[in-house]
Amino acid sequence: MTATLADSFWHNDRELADACLAHPFVRGLADGSLPTPRYRDYVAQDAFFLRAFAAAYALAGARCQDAAGKALYQQLAQGVDDELRLHRQQAERLGIDLSRVVPGDATLAYTEFLTATAATRPEPCAAAAMLPCLRLYAWLGERLLPQLVPTSPFGDWVRTYADPGFASLWRALAPRLDGAERQGTARDELAALHRRAMHLEHRFFAAAWGGTWPGQPPIALTSAGSDPSGGAGIQADLKTFHRHGVYGQSVLTLLTAQNTRGVQGVFVQPVDVVRAQLRSVAFDLGARATKTGAIGSAELVAAIADELAARPLGALVVDPVLVSKHGHALAGGDVAAALRQRLLPLATVVTPNRFEAEALTGVAVADRTSALAAARALLANGVQAVVVKDVPGLGGDLLACADGVVAEVASPRLSTPHRHGSGCTFSAAITARLAHGDALATAVAIASDFVGRGIASAPGFGEVGPLNHWA
């Protein structure tokens, strides 16, 4: 039955509905605690959204293959007009000029998704994308009505969506999914569209409240050096974690004095200081993935390895900061030996550039063949996978895994000096994706793409400036 298909999607995405109901913005509607400026912004954005929603209904109706469907989408568009009347009344009360609303990122993401789906996909796809908005709001209204505080200034919102007449809209739309197979649309595509819309609904509430992360993010840890200019090290790692929706923790291994012109000083932290930081993290929040960057001494490498062996903190990404991408030494041979002997056996993946691969293995990387030889030498140390970066003649990086899989990862060659921190960012992005549960090959591909876009859109600060961590 059609309702069963719609109910199946709702059941599969129920955790997103629950997240919306639990959101402080939504709870604040019922108990009256929502700050008026937050509701004011929501009304403005929702009015823009509803106008786009009505246009999407018209697009979907035009693609209908039956008169009943065309009539239904006209009825649904009329329902949007009823909602807009409520918004116009509230906008007048709140002093909002709806003709001057500038849509936010969350609003545009949702409206563009609906418009593109309605304009380019078969009509049942549009129904799958539109259904969550109607069903979720009706469900929220029903759940909030018994909790509605009589003095809440947002009571009209709750009562509007709790009205059985509003629930009848999603019940009328749900059967349209039934025509999907006849029009060559797979159930999986409908499910994906439904889930995407549910994510965008949560994002819409979160944006009105002031944040956009749907639920509790995974946690990652970086253990690396500090770059006061903000382009590399701990600073780049945390920016990258945040950009990929990960909560970042950090353990400082060394301090530097550096800027876009170069490094003026390096100050390695005492072993007991680093141990104390690691233990604080491990015994509290933990982590789903961890990366190491510049460590600074063989003694620190051994200490970090001891701590991670005793209490693992998720998948381990080792960025062996030994030699710059231009071939300048950044650490001594004793650090390379300690990494190889102590840390690599614990690692999920190690990400050396071609010079670091040589420092770790003695194999000069000049082409794909030598890069693979170096990677296999590193795999022999117990690491699960190796990414040799910037392989000459390859047009990118080489990924080699302990299970025998070898893959080339293309990356653009961009003529710009502004790539400071690209290695840190690459390993941090892999860490973030592993924290999300991505497969290693997927994590590496996403990280490579992120770094490429970050370099291509670098802000151009200073002499050798940072890449763009908003990419």
- Taking phi over 0 as left and psi of -120 to 50 as alpha, with beta for the rest, 259 belongs to beta
Enter the tokens of residue 201.
Answer: 């609904």
**Strand ranges (E), 158-231:** 219-226
Give residue-wise pLDDT tens across range 93-147. 888 888 888 899 899 999 999 999 999 998 999 999 999 999 999 999 999 999 9
CA dihedral 413, 418, 420, 421 (to 10 degrees): -60
- Taking phi over 0 as left and psi of -120 to 50 as alpha, with beta for the rest, 367 belongs to beta
Residues 6+ apart with CB under 8 A from 105: 207, 212
The reported pLDDT for the residue numbered 1 is: 41
């961009």: which residue's tokens? 414
More confident residue, 299 or 470: 299
Contact 383, 347 (CB under 8 A): yes
3-class SS shares of the chain: helix, strand, coil, % to 5: 60, 15, 30
Give residue-wise pLDDT tens across range 16-55. 999 999 999 999 999 999 999 899 889 899 999 999 999 9
Structural element, H or E, at residue 4:
helix 2-12
Task: State yes or no: pLDDT of 330 exceeds 80.
Answer: no
Give residue-wise pLDDT tens across range 143-176. 999 999 999 999 999 999 999 999 999 999 999 8
Q: Is 255 helix (H, G, I), strand (E, B) or coil?
A: strand
What domains can be seen in the chain, in order of their start residue? 2-209 (1.20.910.10), 219-456 (3.40.1190.20)
Residue 391 confidence class, pLDDT cut points 50, 70, 90: very high
